Amino acid sequence: MLYPQRLTQFTKEHTEAFAAILCGVLLFFGWFALHLNFLGWALLLLPAAYVIGGYESAREGLTTLFKEKELDVDLLMIVAALGAAILGLWQREYHLILDGGILILIFAISGALEGYAMQRTERSIRSLMSLTQDTARVLRSGGEEIISISQLKVGDEIVVKPGELIPTDAMIVSGLSTLNQAAITGESVPIEKTVGEEVFAGTLNGYGALKLKVHQPPESSLLQRVIRLVEQAQTEAPPSQQFVERFERRYALVIVVAGLLLAILPRFVLNWDWETTIYRALTFLVVASPCALMAAIMPTLLSGIAHGARQGILFKNGAQLEMIAKVRAIAFDKTGTLTTGQVQVFQVIPTRGYTEADVLKVAASVESSSEHPIGEAIVQAAQDLNWSRAVEVRAIPGQGILGINGHQEVIVGKADFVQQYVTHLPSELKDAADLREQEGKTVVWVAQQEQVLGVIVIADQIRAEAVRAIAHLKKLGVEQIVMLTGDNKRTAHSVAQAVGIERVYAELLPEDKLDVIRRLQKEYQTVAMVGDGINDAPALAQASVGIAMGKIGSDVALETADIILMADRLEKIEAAMRLGKRAQAIVKQNITVALGFIVLLLVGNFVGGINLPLGVIGHEGSTVLVTLSGLRLLRK
């Protein structure tokens, strides 16, 4: 049953693409039949291409006409194509039917691309929904009962065991644990939570069992709000798109009205005969159709997309290739974007008489029994050293870890915890530790047999290319660069200062990031957002251009973003902007050429008296010219 369902879904999502491909195939065989003078086959294949390729545009055009009482380019395309077909049959110049089919094919391809963009929204929402729990373990009548999330009520008490996802936003009633909140806040290190603190749906519980009390309806949970925000932001059309839609409808209205007038007035004003009048009016519809204008844009943008893909920059649609050239402000997520997203040993500071290797070996002996990310980072740093695993290891949640190594007690953890087992903490080491903590880093103290050996500084490493990438973006003309993070202010400002960012927003939830993007858009209009996590999804969707890190990015971030950096290389943002500026320049050149040809053909139609074949040659010639111009971006 699963395979037919997937096949049905695949077919549904790609109907427009299939129609465009089939239209192109029928046009090719129709042209071939005309070339071989098989008129019967040509008159069978070409109308079929019209129906298959133009059905969706005709449906949308007629729907807009009858429901909204407006004309759009879809209907204009159908009128122009049918006009070419009628002229072809009337004058027995059957190649004109092929010209109309080419016009339909261009719009069919455009419709398929628009359909793909809409499908992205649905996939984003499905990816987010995969993080939600379907059931919860509720305490009722002295026992546990598994019920649907939708049945939860405010005041219900639920139990979450180690390793399970939190089913809904709630307050901790009893228990202590660490929670991986990277999906919501972007924090790289699991956060310790205890009685009285709030936990969020979709976050992963750590080592401890928790009893939670539901304090708000499940549909109001933070994750559900993220889902709604992504859906809303992706379906809101930006001002530029609204302008294009209004322009298309006005253009279509002007051309259709002008075509109707030209089919009547010259007969009485210029004393033309009816055959000449209608001939010139239909020629007008053909030469005034927006084929060249469409070709002035799409081939250029598609070529730019291909060029970007070769550089590891994946543009999901051509509009964003053009939009990124206009970016005036960029917002960066911190964890996983400006940093690697994985905690590592940043520095080892030993006390006198000990080496960095001594400190790492002793710490690794007990941390090798821990599953905490900090412990894993220490073990990773000590992997090339010769050390033995400690025994009788005990972890004290939120404090540290103890064990016996070579008949000596080893203590690793926070300063207050270690101080309970040693005579004193060396003042010079304490000063160094305080300095690192002020920078937003985590400090782990290491002691053995009542003697402090040193401290290990843990940090989320800044990407090597981050400083250079930020500097180059400023030189490129980006007016404002900000950092958004769910992490604490101290860590946020430390990272921002290191990479050269002055404006910082810290301790943000996903909806807070969305609000910042909206404020930036009011100030700078075109804003890009660079992120990698689920918590970045609403901001990525709202931003004029959403940019996701390809390797470590969450599924939701990758689906929501407009551009993906396949190798997680921040310097590719500058390359994408330069490519966008070049594409924008070529598009402007092509539009100028296309409009110039349309004006010349229109003047020639009524002043120079050009015939329809010459008009079609000029029309198609301008289309080919601007298409070839757009292909320049394929060059390295």
Q: Does a structural domain hold residue 61?
A: no
- pLDDT of 7 higher than 60: no
- pLDDT of 567 higher than 80: no
Nearest-5° angle of CA 359, CA 435, CA 470?
105
- pLDDT at position 553: 61
- pLDDT of 285 higher than 80: no
pLDDT in tens, 466-502: 999 999 999 999 999 999 988 778 888 888 998 999 9
Q: Does a structural domain hold residue 560?
A: no
The arithmetic mean of pLDDT across residues 199-218, rounded, is: 86
100 vs 592, residue with greater confidence: 592
Domains in the chain: how many in total? Answer: 2
Q: At 119, is the pLDDT very low, low, confident or very high (cuts 50, 70, 90)?
A: low
- pLDDT at position 10: 45
Buried b (16+ CB within 10 A) or exposed e, 83-117: bbbebbeeeebbebbbbbbbbbbbbbbbbbbebee
Task: Fill in the DSSP letter of residue 338.
Answer: I
Q: State how far the Cα of 42 lies from the Cα of 471, in Å rounded to an integer.
A: 60
Q: Which domain holds residue 151?
A: 135-167+169-220
337 vs 117, residue with greater confidence: 337
For the annotated catalytic residues, the residue numbers are 333
CATH number at residue 195: 2.70.150.10
Query: Would you say 520 and 493 are in contact if contact means Cβ atoms under 8 Å apart?
Result: no
Give the 3-state secondary structure of residue 487: coil
pLDDT in tens, 522-559: 999 999 999 887 778 888 889 999 998 876 666 666 77
CATH number at residue 394: 3.40.1110.10
pLDDT in tens, 408-438: 999 999 898 999 998 889 989 999 998 888 8
Give the DSSP letter string of 277-330.
Answer: HHHHHHHHHHHHSTHHHHHHHHHHHHHHHHHHHHTTEEESSHHHHHHGGG--EE
- pLDDT at position 345: 92
Q: At 505, is the pLDDT very low, low, confident or very high (cuts 50, 70, 90)?
A: very high
Give the 3-state secondary structure of residue 135: strand
* 394: its two tokens: 């005990």
Q: Does a structural domain hold residue 470?
A: no
Nearest-5° angle of CA 622, CA 624, CA 630?
105
- pLDDT of 442 higher than 60: yes
pLDDT over 70, % of the chain: 81
* 225: its two tokens: 């709000």
Q: At 4, is the pLDDT very low, low, confident or very high (cuts 50, 70, 90)?
A: very low
Q: Does a structural domain hold residue 163?
A: yes
* 175: its two tokens: 């228990």
- pLDDT of 185 higher than 90: no
Q: Does a structural domain hold residue 408?
A: yes
- pLDDT of 72 higher than 80: no
Integer CA distances (angstroms), 195 to 155, 199, 217, 483, in order = 16, 10, 20, 32
Give the DSSP letter string of 422-459.
Answer: SS---HHHHHHHHHHHHTT-EEEEEEETTEEEEEEEEE
The arithmetic mean of pLDDT across residues 157-175, rounded, is: 89
Last residue of a domain, one of 419, 438, 461: 461
- pLDDT of 239 higher than 50: no
* 619: its two tokens: 């029309």
600 vs 290, residue with greater confidence: 600
66 Cβ neighbours under 8 A, 6+ residues apart: none
Picking from 133, 199, 206, the residue whose alpha carbon sits closest to that of residue 169 is: 199
- pLDDT of 234 higher than 90: no
Q: At 248, is the pLDDT very low, low, confident or very high (cuts 50, 70, 90)?
A: low
Q: State how far the Cα of 179 lies from the Cα of 193, in Å rounded to an integer.
A: 7
Q: Does a structural domain hold residue 524?
A: no
Q: State how far the Cα of 80 lies from the Cα of 429, in Å rounded to an integer.
A: 81
- pLDDT at position 294: 66
Q: Does a structural domain hold residue 353?
A: yes
The conformational region for residue 527 under phi > 0 = left, psi -120 to 50 = alpha, else beta, is beta
Worst-scoring range by mean pLDDT, 130-139, 198-207, 531-540? 130-139
Q: Does a structural domain hold residue 403?
A: yes
Q: State how far the Cα of 240 lies from the Cα of 247, in Å rounded to an integer.
A: 11
The arithmetic mean of pLDDT across residues 335-362, rounded, is: 90
- pLDDT of 77 higher than 80: no
Last residue of a domain, one of 461, 478, 510: 461
The arithmetic mean of pLDDT across residues 1-14, rounded, is: 46
Q: At 126, is the pLDDT very low, low, confident or very high (cuts 50, 70, 90)?
A: low
Last residue of a domain, one of 461, 493, 512: 461
